Amino acid sequence: MALVRCEIHGRPSGRTQRYSIGVKPLGYPRSAALCGRKDCPNVGLVWLTDEEARAYRRGERVFSVPNAAVKIQVE
């Protein structure tokens, strides 16, 4: 599953997943997708697993994230 991390925290090092590419969420850098690291308020990139990266290259643009992996900012 995709994870969101800011540029400071960079590519996630998953225990069971390998994250191959970071892509910009819709509206980046004014996105509501915030880094999933605790206490980090920064806007993040969406990091995709190898399988998700292949789907992205085929045109997929909606990806799921695990619980507590991302925080959402609203107006």
Contacts of 67 (CB under 8 A, 6+ apart): none
The stretch 11-23 carries a mean pLDDT of 89
Identify which has the larger pLDDT, 57 or 71: 57
Range of the domain at 23: 3-72
pLDDT, position 61: 93
Average pLDDT, the chain: 88
pTM (two decimals): 0.87
Identify which has the larger pLDDT, 54 or 38: 54
Report the domain count for the chain.
Answer: 1
The yes-or-no verdict on residue 74 having pLDDT over 80 is: no
pLDDT, position 67: 77
